[in-house]
Amino acid sequence: MAAAPVEAAGENSSMRAKLAHGFRTAANMNNGNHVVGETPPVALDVDALDRQLVALLNRRAAAALAGGLAAADRCSENAAPAPLVEANQGPLTDRALQAIFRELASGIRALAGPLTVAYLGPEYTYSHLAAIARFGQSAELAPVATIAAVFEEVERGQASYGVVPIENSTDGRVADSLECLARHHAHALSGAGGDSGRAGKVGAVPQICGEIPLRIHHCLLGSGSRNDIRRVFSKPQALSQCRNWLSVHLPQVTLEPASSTTEAAALAAAHRDTAAIAAEQAAVNHGLTILARNIEDNPDNITRFAVISSKAAERTGRDKTALAFEAPHKPGALADAMAIFKRHQLNLTWIESFPIPQARGRYLFFVEFQGHASDETAVRAIAALQKKSLRLVVLGSYAEAEVVE
């Protein structure tokens, strides 16, 4: 994959401190037994260290296999455990350490058998990067053409997991994902005839088993210079998230929608007067120049992806639960439903309304709260909400994840 995005000034300061500590450590390991001006003795024999690393990594993998950990909750995060990150004194950055452990966990899990993950393709889109961030590159990452196809792959058992975007901090909800969640749970959310939405389907209903909050950094990519640009292509969402930057820096260009950021990058590679808004990794893949980095208008631009599977995630003790319900169409019904969460002291982290297809004036409400569906408090709250709702379904419980930088 490509180089990581440029780090912020505070991160650079921390990195320099860790580098300094690492160099001091290396010097101390040489015990000072060398003459100034001469090449120090090879106390840190790189080849020997690499051989030790290989041996230790395989011991770590063998221990996971022996303990059955390779096949355990394969939807869990691949990040380095927090105590290891806190103990990191460099020179490797925390982000580099996280990446190493992510790929280590990915390789170990692959030993338990092939792990196929469907995502909204093509390669080098943000969905692809989110899938890599969660499952690593030892997983079989399978691009598909639509969000609906991700759900289909999981439901039919062609993929163990799927990765779909559900909301962005700038543009809000991703309607296609909410529609798919509602449609695939139609048997629980609908009354008589509700199974019609699943005609011809096989397998278990996909449920949410994880989340991936991915910080989105948009780059302006091109094969020429910025002065050459006459058109800028990208997904409509990416164009929207950069509209202020574009109006200031490229006010005369024409903005053109593309089916994906990857398609936009391909167009930029083919035409010198065309630029794309995409991830830095797309520039490497298409041989493009990064003309400007981090052009998103909102510096806290985060897209949250849901990980879906036919299997529930393991309980972690720091979980969230998503559900969908329809309230009766009468005064105070929604207020009464929402008051249940306050009464049971459950903190809401996501609320979204979604019109029910072919039922004008009726809405589903997607809600997420901190806690696991099996917690005693959550069980009571869900039972109370069930009585206040026309229909309700729990979409899944999953670990609360940190933002992926």
Q: Are residues 204 and 339 in the same domain?
A: yes
Q: Is residue 204 part of a domain?
A: yes
Does 280 lie in the same domain as 311?
A: no
Domain of residue 66: give its range.
53-113
- Looking at the fold, whether 333 and 228 belong to one and the same domain comes out as no
Phi-psi region at 281: left, alpha or beta (left = phi > 0; alpha = psi -120 to 50):
alpha
Do 394 and 325 form a contact (C-beta atoms < 8 A)?
no
Per-residue CA distances from 332 to 125, 226, 255, 337, 390 (Å)? 43, 55, 45, 9, 14
| Residue 285 maps to a domain | yes
DSSP strands (E only) in 160-309? 161-168, 172-173, 207-215, 219-222, 231-234, 254-257, 274-278, 289-292, 302-309
**Cβ pair 303, 165 in contact under 8 A:** yes
Distance of alpha carbon 263 from alpha carbon 260, whole angstroms: 5
Domain annotation covers residue 5: no
| 198 occurs within a structural domain | yes
pLDDT at residue 30 is higher than 60: no
pLDDT per residue as tens digits for the range 92-150: 888 888 888 888 888 888 888 889 999 999 999 999 999 999 999 999 999 999 999 99
Residue 15 confidence (pLDDT) above 80:
no
Domain containing 270 — which CATH number?
3.40.190.10
Cα–Cα distance, 165 to 216 (Å, whole number): 12
- Same domain membership, residue 227 and residue 273: yes
Q: How many CB atoms lie within 10 A of CB 16?
A: 12
**DSSP structural state of residue 332:** T
Mean pLDDT (the chain, rounded): 85
Q: Which two three-digit tokens encode residue 301?
A: 């631009």
Q: How many structural domains does the chain have?
A: 3
| Cβ neighbours for 85, distance < 8 A, ≥ 6 positions apart | 94, 97, 98
Among the candidates 299, 324, 345, a domain finishes at 299
More confident residue, 64 or 241: 241
The pLDDT-based confidence of 74 (bands split at 50, 70, 90) is low
Same domain, 323 and 277: no
Residue 367 lies in a domain: yes
* pLDDT of 17: 52
Per-residue pLDDT of 286-339, as tens digits, reads 999 999 999 999 999 999 999 999 999 989 999 999 999 999 999 999 999 999
Q: Are 260 and 253 in contact (CB under 8 A)?
A: no
% of the chain residues with pLDDT over 90: 64
Same-domain status, 324 and 378: yes
CATH number of residue 337's parent domain: 3.30.70.260
Given a cut of 80, whether residue 181 has pLDDT beyond it is yes
Of 120-134, 181-195, 220-234, 309-323, least confident by mean pLDDT is 181-195
Q: Which of 234, 264, 299 is the last residue of a domain?
A: 299
Residue 290 lies in a domain: yes
pLDDT of residue 78: 57
For the segment 338-391, what is each residue's pLDDT rounded down to a tens digit? 999 999 999 999 999 999 877 888 999 999 999 999 999 999 999 999 999 999
DSSP 29-44: HTTT-S-TTSPPP-SS
Number of Cβ atoms within 10 Å of the Cβ of 322: 24
For residue 33, pLDDT beyond 80: no
Does residue 30 belong to any structural domain of this protein? no
- The answer on 241 and 352 residing in a single domain is no
* E strand spans, 180-264: 207-215, 219-222, 231-234, 254-257
In this structure, the answer to whether residues 202 and 156 fall within a common structural domain is: yes
Whether residue 211 is found in the same domain as residue 316: yes
Read off the tokens for 252.
Answer: 């005369």
205: Cβ contacts below 8 Å, ≥ 6 apart: 155, 184, 185, 187, 188, 198, 310
Q: 240 vs 20, which has greater pLDDT?
A: 240
> Domain boundary at 252, 274, 299, which?
299
Asked if residue 175 has pLDDT above 70, the reply is yes
- Closest-CA residue to 117 (of 306, 281, 252, 297): 306
pLDDT at 104: 87
Are the beta carbons of 150 and 118 closer than 8 angstroms? Answer: yes
3-state secondary structure 89-115: CCCCCHHHHHHHHHHHHHHHHHCCCCC
pLDDT score, position 47 = 85
What are the two backbone dihedrals, phi and then psi, of residue 402, each rounded to the nearest 5 degrees? -80, 155
Phi, psi of 67 (to 5 degrees): -90, 5
Q: How confident is the model at residue 151 (pLDDT cuts 50, 70, 90)?
A: very high
Q: What is the pLDDT of residues 251-287, one digit of tens each?
A: 999 999 999 999 999 999 999 999 999 999 999 999 9
Provide the H-helix boundaries in 42-174.
Answer: 46-66, 82-87, 94-110, 126-135, 147-155
* 211 and 120 part of one domain: yes
What pLDDT score was predicted for residue 232? 98
Whether 192 and 80 share a structural domain: no
> Which of the two residues, 89 and 344, has the higher pLDDT score?
344
Do 282 and 221 form a contact (C-beta atoms < 8 A)?
A: yes
**Residue 237: predicted pLDDT:** 94
Average pLDDT rounded to a whole number, residues 196-212: 70
For range 176-201, the mean pLDDT: 64
Taking the C-alpha atoms of residue 127 and residue 150, their distance in angstroms, rounded to an integer, is 11
Assess whether pLDDT exceeds 90 at residue 243: yes
Instruction: Say whether pLDDT at 8 is over 50.
Output: no
126 and 247 co-located in one domain: no
Query: Is residue 18 situated within a structural domain?
Result: no
The bridge status of strand 274-278 relative to strand 172-173 is: unpaired
